[in-house]
Structure 1
Amino acid sequence: MRQATDARQDPAGPSGDGVPVFQLMDPELVRDQYAFFARLREKSRVWWAELPDGSRWLVPTRYEDIRLAHLDPVLRQKPDPEDDPVSDEEGGIWRIYNEHPVVTDPPKHTRLRKLLSGAFTGRQTERMRPRVEATAAELLDRLAEEGADGSPVDLMEHYAWQLPLVLICELLGVPEDRRQVFHDWSRNARDFTGGATHEGREEIAYRIIDVIKELIAERRAHPTEDLLGQMVQARDAEEGRLSEIELTSTAFIVLLAGFETSVGLIGNGVHALLRNPEQRALVENDPSLMPGAVEEFLRFDPSLFLTNVRISGAPTTVAGVTIRKGQPVLLSLGAANRDPEQFPDADRLDVTRHAGGHLTFGYGIHHCLGAPLARMEGAIAIGRLLERFPRLRLAGDGDVPFIPNPISRTPLTLSVLLI
């Protein structure tokens, strides 16, 4: 980690402030985000991350600075007030991607979030519990068949990716005969070995948009009570409440973001327990610990490590550094969750820890709407897995590869033995 351990004070930085610099694509960061950021945190509360094109993003390393940055109204998804929506033909796939509540600012964000909030309340989430239980049971039956001869099975491929995808498709109302494209997306998202390309992901994204538009048209002809049906009704019942591109974009992000966090929660949670048998024994002996254990899994190893980017809409101060308008700020949820000032002995898994306050679902107005559903999915998925396979263990030498990029913290594969 030469760039971080031998970091230089760089007076030529964007603000001329001498803040140290590290390379965002440093191989050591890709290999072990937590160790990398621990070393950064020891040296400075804030760094410049240099991108391959030479541009730099400000990166705070401590929990409190990252939390406060989420609350700063000057730090926005976009630096200037948003223009009125244009058609997707004018902006292509990325215009569609930029019209949903995750990447918009008030007042648009407020309007879009209000539209979706009713679908993700605790009451609505509880209504899905029987389906989550049934889906987990079905997938565990298939998993048992895969490993019945004692051979290793990939828990990510056959369980962690499958359960959340089935459930989010059902919530939105995507029929089984239209789900293949979403399976293709999930496989592409995991392939960083050369088989997947930016163009490949974009091609799949266009196919997803086509499916969504077909489903929207069908719901206009035949209204339904699923989430997409409700969104279409809101779009058509009150002109101007939801534009067509906002409708398409929001459905797109609900599908994609609605399952990837849960995938990481299941994979990382199981991996953490298999690496820490004493903690596994605690939750197996006392299932009432599982809700708190899920919070600890979310804190200990979130599926997205470097994810929240904000743009300064005006000069402001972040972690003691004054930045100009238009300066990107990169907020690391994983780094915040391992700050020992906030979570003592932060690098140790402790299912009895009070892990409330972790930033895995974001913070402030962009806190993840789907958090209650993800928590329930994680608790059921991991709990039922341990009940069904009490002898579950890592296969081979126990080495688990992660998707090789600095953004994600999701296992690429999780090879296990069931018996």
Structure 2
Amino acid sequence: MSTDQNKELESSKVDFQNKKFINNPFPVYSELRKNDPVHRFLLPSGQFAWIVSRYEDAAEILQDSRFVTNSPYAGNEAGAGPPHQEIISRNLLSVNSEDHRRLRRLVQKAFTPRMIERLRGRIEEISKELLEIIQTKEKREMDLIEEYAFPLPIIVICEMLGVPVEDQDKFREWSNTIMEGVNNTEFNQKSDGAMALFVDYLHSLITKRRLDLQEDLISDLISVEEDGDVLSEQELYALVFVLIIAGHETTVNLIGNGMLALLNNPDQKQLLLDDPELIQPAIEEISRYDGPAEVSNVRWATEDVEFGGKHIQQGDMLFVSFSSANRDPQQFPDPDTFDITRKVNNHIAFGKGIHYCLGAPLARLEGEIAISALLRQMPNIQLKISEEFMDWRPGMIIRGLKELPVVF
């Protein structure tokens, strides 16, 4: 057996569900980049899949039309999802080529950069309100995830969509439960139930809006039209699902992971305190260093492909590791160093190609405002416990902390 084969055999023992890996995957990804950059592994479902760890390979795969996010093979899995999964399946993350271009073109008419920038003032108000509540506590401590990073984006996205205030707690609970299922790459009974409640609620809300349009994003999506083309009912469900679930989760973890990186690197935190204008490059470095998504959503090979010295068969599942690609020393000098003044930062934390995250501008804006407001109000904020005692959310897709205890 060759040395290369030995290395591949050793790396095949990687357990992506292991708690040690979940808490700190970067040493393992470093070994994979060196020894087995296109690595075959076993999913909890019993299926085999590939994971790509080098930046150059990742960027290529994300733009390669031979690897698609929705295919005939997607439905061949045992227990392929909950009853309501089909209703939300035609979303921007899972459709390809012309279908994707059509949906993106329609959605962008309602989800414009100008509309997102108009939210700046309201996001600042929400940040301020949440921090004022926290600062009234007798104990000068909090769980930064539960009390700040989690509620802020769910309030923002619910207000954008026109979800009544009294229903926002439901959305928060459903979002968390559904993502736990998605993050473990297979739906469980609990996330199935949350999905059913979520879709039933959307049906009621969309029906009301069709009868009485308001100044909100759901009404805009109902009204959007181009050359006689409109969004179908199923597409409406799917798009709102992606905006709430994926958009919300991205921002929670951008804020949480970002604050952990700053608190673990007090010199960088001080740089940002001294020069608040560094917040934009800081958000980019947070996204690169420990971004909100660990791997891409699944791709399927539409034909046999020779890639990275491996034979990938038609129908094989494949993931791109954003966390690994964004620490590739071939692309980023000193990749394990957190540096908010990094000059060249072409990370792929929000994807690349046609499936580049539509909500990235909103996540960036919320991250900038939330972190800036927090440091301004609590400049002496510190970790309550060491990172080694913190728990990260299990699963492969989302990279985020269960909680982040801090004192201020």
TM-score of the alignment, normalized to the shorter chain, above 0.5: yes
1:103 equivalent among 86, 94, 100? 94
> CA–CA distance in 1 between the matches of 2:67 and 2:47?
18
Quickly say closer, same or farther: Cα 1:53–1:260, change in 2 above 3 A: closer
Q: Structure 1 residue 130 and structure 2 residue 121: aligned? A: yes
Q: Confirm or deny: 8 A CA contact 1:22 1:48 kept in the other structure.
A: no
Map 1:2-401 onto structure 2 (within 5 A): 8-9=8-9, 22-80=14-72, 92-146=83-137, 148-150=138-140, 152-188=141-177, 198-234=188-224, 241-354=230-343, 356-397=345-386, 399-401=389-391
8 A contact 1:169–1:179 mirrored in 2:
yes
In structure 1, C-alpha distance between the alignment counterparts of 2:94 and 2:341, rounded to whole Å: 35
Q: Deviation string for 1:115-152 (max 9, x for gaps)? A: 11134432221111111111111111111123x433x3
Task: Report the aligned-residue RMSD.
Answer: 2.6
Given that 2:69 and 2:297 are in contact with CA atoms closer than 8 Å, whether structure 1 keeps it comes out as no
Q: Alpha-carbon deviations, 1:333-362, whole Å to 9, x = none?
A: 111111111111111100001353111111
The whole-number CA distance in structure 1 between the counterparts of 2:384 and 2:378 is 14
3-state SS of paired residue (1:306)? coil
State the distance in 2 between where 1:190 and 1:228 align: 22
Aligned partner letter, 2:193: E
Return the letter of the residue paired with 1:354: K
Once residues 53 and 141 of structure 1 are traced to their aligned partners in structure 2, the CA distance between those partners, rounded to angstroms, is: 45
Q: Structure 1 residues 227, 190: closer, same or farther in 2, change over 3 A?
A: closer
Q: Alpha carbons of 1:94 and 1:357: their partners in 2 closer, same or farther (altered >3 Å)?
A: same
- Report the alpha carbon displacement of residue 7 of structure 1 after superposing the two structures with TM: 5.2
Deviation, 1:6, is 7.3
TM-aligned CA deviation for residue 261 of structure 1: 0.3
By how many angstroms is 1:321 displaced? 2.4
* TM-score normalised per structure 2: 0.89
Counterpart in the other structure of 1:13 = none
1:140 aligned partner, one-letter code: L
Separation in 2, partners of 1:50, 1:82: 17
Q: Mark the runs of 5 or more structure 2 residues left unpaired by the alignment.
A: 76-80, 182-186
Q: Report the TM-score, using the length of structure 1 for normalisation.
A: 0.87
Q: Identity of counterpart residues, as a percentage?
A: 34
- Secondary structure of the corresponding residue to residue 230 of structure 2: coil
Indicate how the Cα distance of structure 1 residues 248 and 319 shifts in structure 2: closer, same or farther if over 3 A, else same: same
Distance 2:173 2:43 in 1: 29
- TM superposition shift of 1:159: 0.3
The amino acid that maps onto 1:378 is G
Greater RCO structure (CA 8 Å; 6+ sep): 2
Contact 2:23/2:391 (<8 A) preserved? no
Letter of the aligned partner of 1:305 in structure 2?
E
Q: In the TM superposition, what whole-angstrom CA distance separates every residue of 1:95-115 from its partner, at most 9, and x where no partner exists? A: 023111111112211111111
| 1: CA distance, partners of 2:351 / 2:142 | 33
Distance 2:133 2:46 in 1: 48
Letter matched to residue 401 of structure 1: D
Post-superposition offset of 1:80: 4.6
Counterpart contact for 1:295–1:355, Cα < 8 Å = no
1:204-258 C-alpha deviation (Å, 9 max, x unpaired): 12111122111111111101231110111237x9876322111111111111112
Moved more, 46-55 or 284-293: 46-55
Contact 1:171 1:226 in 2 (8 A): yes
- Superposed displacement of residue 265, structure 1: 0.5
